[in-house]
Copies of this chain bind each other. A is one copy, B any other.
Amino acid sequence: MAERLVVIGGDAAGMAAAAEARRRKPYLEIVALERTGWVSYSACGIPYLVGGEVAGVDDLVARTAQEHREQRIDVRLHHEVKAIDLAARVLEVRDGQRRRTFQLDFDQLHIATGARPTRPDLPGISGESVKGVQTLDDATALLDHARTSRCRTVVVVGGGYIGLEMCEAFVRWGAEVTLVEGADQLMGTLDPDMAARLRDPIRGLGVDVRLGAQVAAFEPGRVLMADGASLPADLVVLGLGVTPNSELAAAAGVATGARGAIAVDRRQRTDADGVFAAGDCCTSPHLVSGRQVHIALGTVANKQGRVAGTNLGGGYATFPGVVGSAITKVCSLEVARTGLNEREATAAGFEWSAATIETTTRAGYLPDAEPMTVKLLGERGTRRLLGGQIIGGNAAGKRIDTLAVALHARMRVDDIIDLDLAYAPPFSSVWDPVAVAARALSRQLEEP
């Protein structure tokens, strides 16, 4: 009998691994079990689907189940794994359409079960109108509910990336949107001084932004707040981050780590023999803090999946780690970050200085030059770059990658000043914004 690889979870981390393993081992039997009706889709595209910029759910599918099957990957939709028996090397699988449960043997196992929207333990949290946005099934459920309920009022809970993107999406949809955030700032991955720059633009969209606001309960048609306020809500969207789907693996005895995510080594191997994991369900090494972290992002899922697939296919590959890069666009503002913010740097034990500079996206003398703010953090003593945050107009955001690569290369702040970055007036002032910020931080690091 052929060697069998079973992949649990059919989005990026699962199918990237399956595809890579297939490429390397033509005779490997590969079965991919997916709980929902969709594989290989862009969950990050859901806000644009809701906002109407993307016409249909199918547009978010990078590769269909049928296309995978043509590569001899046996994709089975609506199949949920209920239990893993590592000793017997067998899975208990529930076929949701045929409503039967069966057993499936495996030689190697790849766990890519993803993550689910975090649901706070509050009255009414399981209500019909309280929706998370993680899978395409979630997206279709949310859209169905929104269309059915006409959805005049939306409360978004949580002011992170997904929360802000969903606010803009439902403004486009035509709803009255309230954003409820428990902390005193939006976008907790930014420092408060940077996050404060987002409040007015979001309010400018017409969103009622409520910071430091605690939800007390969800009721049909409204959200009750701890301060007694009642917010009308045909729909509630949860944007409180995600929880790794690691329970299945943990129940089988696979070790977990940061935030309960499945612990993996550089080759995406769990501590169980022949069992790999990748994506939102597992941990990643953070190259700046040196710690294992749980970062649920499509980019990481794809990269880890490819690494797992290479190893599952008999090759050798390692995932070097993350530096914490993320980006979003809210209204016409681009918001990006990488590395550690102030809170994270302190938590990781660094003594740091920070510098923030204001500049423009093009040479100041050109029309359409838009404001742009760059903040950098560096370690005192070593002068190592620790992180960066950028908020600005058109084409400001992806400049964060310059800093991301510098973090990968463990550059000092001073190294960044002299980087040979491309310049012409339509793109920046003659000193690149990133270099200007590095100069400011370099001076800060010299202060006693």
Residues in chain A within 8 A of chain B (CB atoms): 12, 42, 44-45, 48, 53-54, 59-60, 62, 161, 287, 297-300, 302-303, 307, 319-329, 336-338, 363, 365-367, 394-395, 397-402, 404-409, 411, 415, 417-428, 430-432, 434
Contacts and interface: CB of A to CB of B under 8 A. Distances in A.
A367 B302 CA distance: 24
A405 B425 contact: no
Contacts of A327: 422-424, 427
A59 B365 contact: yes
B397 A394 contact: no
Sort A-B residue pairs by CB-CB distance and give the 4 closest, nearest first.
A409-B409, A327-B422, A405-B405, A395-B395
B394 A421 contact: no
A327 B422 CA distance: 6
Contacts of A428: 398
A415 B408 contact: yes
B365 A60 contact: yes
Most buried by B among A42, A45, A398: A398
B325 A54 contact: no
B419 A45 contact: no
Contacts of A42: 363, 365, 425, 430
A287 to B, nearest CB: 8
A310 to B, nearest CB: 11
A292 to B, nearest CB: 15
Contacts of A337: 422
A363 B402 CA distance: 21
Contact of A419 (B405, B422, B425): B405
A336 B399 CA distance: 14
A359 to B, nearest CB: 13
Copies of this protein in the assembly total: 2
Contacts of A54: 365-366
A363 B425 CA distance: 27
A423 B298 contact: yes
A365 B57 CA distance: 10
B418 A303 contact: yes
A212 to B, nearest CB: 27
Given A44-B430, A48-B366, A409-B409, A329 B424 contact: yes
Contacts of A422: 325-327, 336-338, 397-398, 400-401, 404
B427 A404 contact: no
A157 B285 CA distance: 54
A17 to B, nearest CB: 15
Given A54-B365, A399-B401, A408 B430 contact: no
A420 B48 contact: no
A328 B425 CA distance: 8
Given A54-B366, A300-B420, 18 more contacts: A42-B425, A44-B430, A53-B366, A298-B430, A299-B423, A302-B431, A303-B418, A321-B420, A326-B424, A329-B426, A394-B394, A394-B395, A398-B398, A398-B422, A400-B422, A401-B401, A405-B405, A408-B409
24 contacts: A44-B424, A44-B430, A48-B365, A48-B366, A54-B366, A297-B423, A299-B420, A299-B421, A302-B430, A303-B417, A320-B415, A322-B420, A324-B420, A326-B423, A327-B424, A327-B427, A329-B424, A336-B422, A338-B420, A399-B401, A402-B405, A404-B422, A405-B409, A408-B411
A54 B45 CA distance: 39
Contacts of A418: 303, 307, 319-320
B409 A421 contact: no
A101 to B, nearest CB: 34
Contacts of A307: 418
B365 A424 contact: no
A435 to B, nearest CB: 8
A265 to B, nearest CB: 15
A302 B44 CA distance: 41
Given A324-B420, A401-B422, A422-B401, A329 B12 contact: no
